[in-house]
Each structure stands twice: as structure tokens, then as C-alpha cells.
Structure 1
């Protein structure tokens, strides 16, 4: 099996929630991302000691007497993340997990989500920028956004669509705040709105999700197009054609579309095994079966 080596950092900056373009120049990156990850975490920890969540204003504010610092707030959670061989700590604040109707689970890192958000830059350790971007409702897939979002949104669930007449409205959706180190955002590149190595804060509402999103409509949900089992389908390329399986309509390049390699006709090519010499290899990944 061929694997796409080291996801190109700039590729993850093709984020749907920003209109700004990215620098696509393929230059050698000698930046010390490991050291920056440590700097980012120190900055975030310091920020948490100096700020609290104001439930009345629904915003993060400078700490005042009698308030609980974010660093001591039980609603502030963390995730250990390894991305491109660099270890990060990602933080998120939970106002509400979410209570979807009809019942749905947590989104995966490949699912489509409907969200509302607003973003600010964390300046040094004691202040925030004005809002640099916001959207009151947009669909995107978690494989196409900054990695901090991809890892954070699976900690929340959607809500219930209560739309009657007028704008689409949801209630009881996931609600929280994301604190993203620069290495899981725009890294040492930045863009026109965000400087290099800047940590970010996002207020988010998760309204709805599409479970088991299938990007290439081949009958296999994108999250399951992960033959190496590392939970990152972006780096799996069975036929070595530089198209990740989750975007490849013919995963083994045998001339038969993946969706047509469904011997038992149940609509799921992933459970068809016709090769006695490779009994654990599904037909859609087996170039000897078409």
C-alpha cells in the first residue's frame, strides 16, 4: 500500500470558512514547529490564567475578582493531538455538548457539519483582537478546514431543526469555544487576516451534521477509507495515483469503479471479499478483482 507522505501543510489551509487565498509555493520549511508548539501552549496556559468565561455576555473576558479563571474552570477541556509528527495540546470550552433530534452521534473528522462561528486572534497572553471572521450558518467538511477545527468539532453534537417559516433555526446544538494553537491553524504562514504563529479563539455553534459523509460517492463512507487504521483517511492512497482513497472513485485502479465492486449488492463495497488468496482484502482495494 502506498501512503501519501507528510500532508503538505499548505493543503490544509484551503479552508472553506475563509475567502482569503493561501500561498501555494512549494518551498522547504525549516521552521521549528516543535518549539513553536511549546511556545503556543505556554501562551495559551498563561491566557487561561488571566481570563474567565462570562456567561452573561457569552464571551471570554479578563479575569476580575471573584471570577473563576479558565485554567480552573471544569468546562475547559484539552485534547492531545499529533499532527505531522508534532505534539500539540488543543483546548475547547464546553457550554453544551448538543442534543440532536433525530438522534445522531458525534461527527468524525471527515463528516459534513453546519456551524455558526466567530473568530478572534489571541494577542500575546492578555488580550484578543476584534472579530476577524464570522458566519451565521455554513456547511463544510471537517477534512477541509484547519486541523484545530477538525479535531475540536467531534467533541460536540448537533441540535434540533425547529424551522417553521423564515430562516433555518436550530436549538440545543453544541455550543462552545475553541482555543487553537497556531500549529493547528495557520502555522508559520498566516494569511491576510491572521499573522504567522498566532493562536486563535473561535466561538462556535454546531447545528447539524451529515453522518458518514462520502466525498466521492463510492459507497464507502470517507471515515472508513482508512486502510492503515491511523484515523486519518487523507493519507491513504491504495493505488498510488496521488488521489486519496476518500476522493478516488476507483481506489485500486483496476478499471472498475469502487461503487460497482459490490458483489453482494448491499450498497457497501467494503464488505465484499472475493479473493481466496487475500481473504481480508476487500474487492474495491484489490486490483486482481474487478
Structure 2
């Protein structure tokens, strides 16, 4: 029992590491990320040409006569992503988009998702499991995971809850495979579970999402806390306190919570403009407006 407990705890630890955000960027790092991106893409293309998706086992197998290589399978898609001035290609294989009930759209890169998954090194076969998805589904916020996940999950929808008695169960959720270059995963440094410069493969099941996730509960969806409009709320910090707006309860640092800078009381701080000298800047981003409307 002790050995089993240790194994389960170890697995849980690796699971947490599996999808954690990559925080290993180092200003002194002289690693050539652009060159590694080209190398990773070449490796991914070789893999996609030499393997196919086995529908009967929901797994990837070495290509055999009569089967369609992943690269030629119409279910394989790709997205071009620029991250830290480097261009990457993310490949994703859509087994099922998902049919949510109640109806929900695709998640954004800042929404929360309920998923089961397994992660693998890119190898000749589909058998080298690193992170086992055969556990209770877990919630993740897509701002706090590797970027391959942040973008990859936006191409799938959730399913429908069919729970009657017992554990929560879903059907018809999004299902597929993400082929992630190392630059959108753990980059050149890796982590305790993943070596540096390792492209990864994740088999994912998406069960549910929280649309318009609001991580700091300030009345503004995290995806909209993006004043510079680049689609990435992680790099927006209006008051320069090293806390991005999407997790900062006081975005402009004026001592009044963002949710309380709602002059018209409609629950949306983004449409309140009280400064005649700066009529296009909403109050919650304007440190000169310090009226608290909570009372």
C-alpha cells in the first residue's frame, strides 16, 4: 500500500508539472529559439509523415500499407503562432470537435477547461506515456499552462454532462491530439519531467469550459483584460506592479478595486468614462479617477 501511495503521489506531482506554465525564460539565455523552432517543425513533419491515427484504438501507430499518414489526414490542422518573436507551427488533430449542452463556444486562451489527457515524447510509437490522463478530470486555466495548450484547446468544444448517479460523466466532448514544438512547451530548459527542446504530443479530451473566465472576479473576463490588444492578457500590467491586469483586483493601482469603478452600476467597469480630460480611458484603468462606487 505504501508503494502504491508513493506511486500515486508521484503521478499527481508529474501531472501538475505536465501542464504548468513555462517560466524558464532567462534574459541571459543565448539559446537560438528560432533555429530550434525550425528543427522541431522538421521533426514533427517526419513524425506526421510516418504515423497514422488508429481509430479503433484511439492511438497513433507507425504507418502501414492501406492507412493514411497523419500529414495527409483531413483531420490534421495547423496554426501559426508567434511567441516571443519566434514563429512556430502547432499541429492539432481533431477526432471530435465537441457538442456541448448547454451550448457553449470554443474557449479562449484565457478561459478555464475541464480535461483529461496524456502526454508523450515524440517517438517512433505512441507508447511512451509521460502524463497519464486516466485520472479524474482536472480544471486548468489556459493562461497558466504551456502555450501549446493555451492555443490548442481553442480548437475544441466541451461536451454534455450525462451524470445520473456516481462520478460526474461527460459525453460528446472535444477529442484530439496536440503536436507541440518545444518552444510552445518547456523550451530549451525543460523541467523535472521533460528534457529541454523536446516536442510533445498530448491526447486530450475536453469535457467542459468556463466561458469568459474572470480570474480576479473584477467583472471583466480575463481575455478582455488586454489593453494593448495583442490577444495575450498575460503581458498587460497597467499599474506596473508586476501583477497582470487579469489577476489584479485593482488594475490602475489607485486604491479602488476595479469592480468598484463602475459608475453606471451596470456590472461592467469597461464602459465607465468619468475623466473629461481623458474621455477614452475607462475609469478602472485611469489612476486619476478614484471614486469608489461600491456603496
Q: Normalising by the residue count of structure 2, what TM-score does the alignment of the two structures yield?
A: 0.89
Task: Find the partner of 1:131 among 121, 129, 132.
Answer: 129
SS at match of 2:203: strand
Instruction: Give 1:165 deviation, angstroms.
Output: 0.4
* Structure 2 residues without counterparts, runs of 5 or longer: 1-14, 291-295
Counterpart position of 2:9: none
Instruction: Give 1:127 deviation, angstroms.
Output: 3.8
Counterpart position of 1:217: 217
Q: Deviations over 1:204-247 (max 9, x none)?
A: 00000011111111111110000000000000011111111111
Counterpart position of 1:91: 91
Counterpart position of 1:149: 149
| Kept after mapping to 1: 8 A contact 2:20/2:145 | no
Change (3 A) 1:54 1:24: closer
| Kept after mapping to 1: 8 A contact 2:99/2:159 | yes
Q: Deviations over 1:64-91 (max 9, x none)?
A: 0010001110100000000011000000
Change (3 A) 1:36 1:237: same
Q: Deviations over 1:7-47 (max 9, x none)?
A: xxxxxxxx945399988695611100000000000000011
Counterpart position of 2:257: 257
Counterpart position of 1:8: none
Greater relative contact order (Cα < 8 A, sep 6+)? 1
Instruction: Give 1:50 deviation, angstroms.
Output: 0.3
Instruction: Give 1:192 deviation, angstroms.
Output: 2.6
SS at match of 2:132: strand
SS at match of 1:18: helix
Pairing 1:59-98 to 2, within 5 Å after superposition = 59-98=59-98
| Kept after mapping to 1: 8 A contact 2:22/2:185 | no
> Could you tell me how far apart the structure 2 residues matched to 1:16 and 1:142 are?
14
Change (3 A) 1:212 1:153: same
Counterpart position of 1:229: 229
| Kept after mapping to 2: 8 A contact 1:262/1:272 | yes
Change (3 A) 1:262 1:19: closer
* Structure 1 residues without counterparts, runs of 5 or longer: 1-14
> Could you tell me how far apart the structure 2 residues matched to 1:235 and 1:25 are?
14
Aligned length: 275
Counterpart position of 2:109: 109
| Kept after mapping to 2: 8 A contact 1:93/1:177 | yes
Counterpart position of 1:175: 175
Change (3 A) 1:120 1:46: same
> Could you tell me how far apart the structure 2 residues matched to 1:46 and 1:280 are?
51
Counterpart position of 1:193: 193
Q: Deviations over 1:140-159 (max 9, x none)?
A: 10000000000000100000
Change (3 A) 1:209 1:39: same
Structure 1 stretches of at least 4 aligned residues deviating more than 4 Å after TM superposition? 19-27
Quick check: 1:287 aligned with 2:291?
no
Change (3 A) 1:97 1:19: closer
SS at match of 2:205: strand
Quick check: 1:277 aligned with 2:271?
no
> Could you tell me how far apart the structure 2 residues matched to 1:78 and 1:254 are?
43
SS at match of 2:90: strand
Q: Normalising by the residue count of structure 1, what TM-score does the alignment of the two structures yield?
A: 0.90
